[in-house]
Structures are given as C-alpha cells and as structure tokens.
Amino acid sequence: MASRKAFASAIAGAAVAALLLTSCSGAPTDDGGSGLDGEVKGEVNFITWRTDLIQDGTFDKYAEEFTAKYPDASVKFEGITDYEGEMRTRLSTTNFGDVLGIPNSVLPDQLADFFEPLGQTADLAADYRFLAPKSFEGVQYGIALGGNANGVLYNKDVYEQAGVTEFPKTEEEWLAAAAKIKATGSIPLYTNYKDGWPLSQWSGNLGAVTGDPDAVNKIAEEDSPWTEGGELYVIDSLIYETVAAGLTEDDPLTTNWEQSKVDLATGKIATMVLGSWAISQMQAAASDNGIDPGVVGYAALPSTASDGKQYAIVGGDYNLGINKHSEVKAAAKAWIDFLIEDSGFTDTQGMVSPLLSKDLPDNLAGFADAGVELLELNAAPAGKEALFNNIADTAQIDIWGQIYRQKLVDIARGAADGDKDSYFAELNQRWADARGQVS
C-alpha cells in the first residue's frame, strides 16, 4: 500500500518542516465555521493517506452511509500518497481540507495554529484511547482513526521449515534463528530500504525494550540514548547486526514494498518489522496467491525486559483533526464520529479501536498466547510535550523517519564508513549537543 509512505516520513526533513510550520503559526485564527455543535450540513473534504480505501471503494461506501444518516451533508475524498511531504506544504495555507490526518510534522505546541479544539483531554479520556500525542495543555486536537500494535510480521511456514519452534526473544536468539532461516533460501529480514518509510516503523517499538511507558519521555532527558541496554541501542543494534551478518536482502537499493507483501506471504521473505496495520495486507496477499492467510504471524520485537517479560507498544495511527478554517465544522466532526463509531473501519482493517468500549482485534491474539503485555506510552509532562521532537529536529536525527537508519544499514553492509560503535557515538554526541541547545 503506497499510502503507508505517509505514516513513515514523520520527522524526515523535520528541520525544513519546522520552518514551514513556524512560518504559518501567525496565520489568522478567526473561526470561519459554525462551530462543532452547529447543524450537520455541507460538503466535507476529507484528505487522507489511505489512498487504497479510495481506490477500492471503501470510503465511497462509508460516504453513502454517512449521507443516509445526515441527508444535508456529504463527503468528498482527496488521497495523497506522499502525505507528509505534501501536507507540509499545504499547511502553509488554509487550504488543507476540512478533516485530515494530523501530519506528524505538526509539533504539539503548534496544534492550535491549524486545528479546531475537540474538547478537554480529561473529559475525552473516559471514552477514547491514544489521546496523548495530539493533546496540548489539556486540550485535544485529534482523535485516532484506529490504533496499531508494533512488532514483527513473520511467515509461520518458513519458521517451521527452518526448525525454529519459538519466536526469538533476544537479539542472540534472533540472529541464530535468522541463520537457520537463511539456509532455507528465505530472506530472514527484509528492510524495505529503498522505499525507506518501513525503517521508521522500528521506532514504534520504543518502550517495548524496557517495558517502560515513560521510555520516550526519558530519552528526552538523556544525553546518550544509544547506550547498551537503552531503547534506541537495542532496536538499532538489532538492525545493524542482522544486516552485518548478511541476513537481509542482497541489494537494499532494489527493495519493493508492494512485491514484499507477496514475498512474505509466499515465504520468500521470513520477517518484516511493521505495525499491526500490515497484518491484513499480508493476509490478503496470501489469499490472492492461494495461500492460507493463517500463515501470517505477528510477534513482539525480539527483546526481553529486565523483569523477564516481553512488551508490545500499542498506539494510535493518524489522528483525525478538523481544519480550524473549515466552514463545515459540525459536519466535519460528525464525519469523524461516524468513522470511529459507526463505519466498522477498525473491524475490517484489523486495527485497535480508539473506543475503550471495544475489544482488541483477533489478529493480536498471538500476543496473548505468548504472554506479551500491551503497553501504551504515557504523555509527556506538561510543558515538555514538544521536547523529544525538538531535540530530534535540532540533532537532525529523524527518529520517526528513515534517513538515519538508512545510513545505519549502509554502514552495516560496508557501503559507508564506520561501524556500530562509531555511529552510535556520533548519534549520542549529536543528541547531547541538541539537548543543550534546546534546553
């Protein structure tokens, strides 16, 4: 699904993004609409990263149902493949739709410059998950369309053929299993280096290494997060050592996201690190090729916390927000409510509903069977909501992007100078310097 590029670019090019967004923070803040509680009428322009759901007619079906419920309202769709890149430019104007996924380049202290308040976070917390990322000073500006767990997609048949009976729980076990898998002719780990954005998915596991819901907040208070035992060290070491051992694709410059879905389903690829949103796509690829979709497994990152447990982070995908300049705010809010409460979107996509009243999807049952505990990260302390991203921006380390990890892969495969120790030392120095500047 090409639209997943959008989720990936998060902080890539963040220094430029910050300049763009700062430049429009002084834009007019007058309310051009009738308010969220007004009459539900008018045409809602929904800008979405889910281009696949436009192409297959899913969103058109939802729009018909929405208009049946609200006869004076309708929805039109605008799908963007390079969502983050294009929306950074669109946000410098007032022309960025009525409802949209809030781009990752919008920092918490900038939310009010672009988006309509949806209510007090404390009040909404009684009904919704995943509120923290788009809350600032107690005000909520976005609600997740759905949520994902984070972990590793794998082909069960490949693991069985390789004689690996239990999914690895440590880097050592992972590398040993990958060597056995390589002997079967399957690619142990596929990085999707060329498309790039899949490398950002590894950061979704921050917090799983230590089982600490404050892990990201603590990294913002550390000078050397790439130190052995730390969240970023463990995640990036796993990538480095796997590549260095020759246990990934032969030529990362020719990877192909769409083909990789088929290749994992058919066993040419053993594993990919992606959010649980990808499970249904891999299962569909299996079905399209006459293979039982049950071949697709999902496991926690091969890391075990000091308490002996494994954890998986669960969090929201894009949050839906309302353009503060929209002239159909009541209809926009009704569309968000419809998607979350009435459309059945999370059920069909195998995602975690943002509604606390709904159960977890069946595709995460494997976590429960393996004793993996799901963990939602805590919000940043008041006044520090933008601290982590500001440090990353200043250090020019795109934690939520792909650029620094592409360099990590290049070093590991011998295509760039250095080694793991030297690169981690460089990252630590840049992070420490940036912390000093931001402080």
- Note the pLDDT of residue 105: 83
CB 370, CB 167: distance < 8 Å: yes
Residue 17 has pLDDT above 70, yes or no: no
Q: Report the CATH fold assignment for 2-146+317-358.
A: D-Maltodextrin-Binding Protein; domain 2 (3.40.190)
- Note the pLDDT of residue 10: 35
pLDDT band (50, 70, 90) for residue 347: confident
Alpha helix (H) residue ranges in 70-150:
83-90, 111-114, 121-124
Cα distances from 45 to residues 4, 40, 86, 229, 331, in angstroms, run: 21, 14, 16, 46, 10
pLDDT band (50, 70, 90) for residue 98: very high
CATH architecture of 147-316+359-439: 3-Layer(aba) Sandwich (3.40)
Q: What is the DSSP letter of 419?
A: -
Higher pLDDT, 223 or 17: 223
- Note the pLDDT of residue 33: 41
- Note the pLDDT of residue 6: 37
- Note the pLDDT of residue 132: 86
Angle subtended by helix axes 420-438 and 231-244, to nearest 10: 150
Nearest to 334 by CA among 75, 132, 1, 79: 75
Helix (H, G, I), strand (E, B) or coil at 59: helix
- Residues of the chain with pLDDT > 90: what percent? 77
- Note the pLDDT of residue 350: 82
Radius of gyration of the chain (CA): 21
User: 274-283, pLDDT tens digit by residue?
Assistant: 999 899 889 9
Cα distances from 256 to residues 53, 190, 191, 192, 197, in angstroms, run: 21, 10, 10, 7, 12
- Note the pLDDT of residue 383: 85
- Note the pLDDT of residue 23: 34
pLDDT band (50, 70, 90) for residue 259: very high
Cα Dmax for the chain: 64
User: 39-87, pLDDT tens digit by residue?
Assistant: 999 999 999 999 989 998 999 999 999 999 999 999 999 999 888 889 9
Do 2-146+317-358 and 147-316+359-439 have matching folds? yes
- Note the pLDDT of residue 248: 98
Cα distances from 438 to residues 263, 343, 369, in angstroms, run: 44, 43, 43
The phi-psi region of residue 353 (left if phi > 0; otherwise alpha if psi is between -120 and 50; otherwise beta) is beta
Buried b (16+ CB within 10 A) or exposed e, 392-426: bbbbebbbbbbbbbbbbbbbbbeeeeeebeebbee
Residues 145-168, mean pLDDT to the nearest whole number: 96
User: 131-149, pLDDT tens digit by residue?
Assistant: 988 999 999 999 999 999 9
Distance CA 262, CA 265 (A): 5
Higher pLDDT, 236 or 84: 236
Q: 177-191, 202-216, 342-356: which range is least confident on average?
A: 342-356
Any idea where the domains of the chain sit in the sequence? 2-146+317-358, 147-316+359-439
Residues 413-422, mean pLDDT to the nearest whole number: 98
Most confident of 27-31, 194-198, 261-265, 381-385: 261-265
Q: Encoding tokens for residue 204?
A: 């979704």
Higher pLDDT, 363 or 294: 294
Residues 296-322, mean pLDDT to the nearest whole number: 95
Residues 219-224, mean pLDDT to the nearest whole number: 97
Locus of tokens 């840049």:
430
β-pairing, 147-155 with 311-316?
A: antiparallel
Residue 117 has pLDDT above 70, yes or no: yes
Residues 202-214, mean pLDDT to the nearest whole number: 96
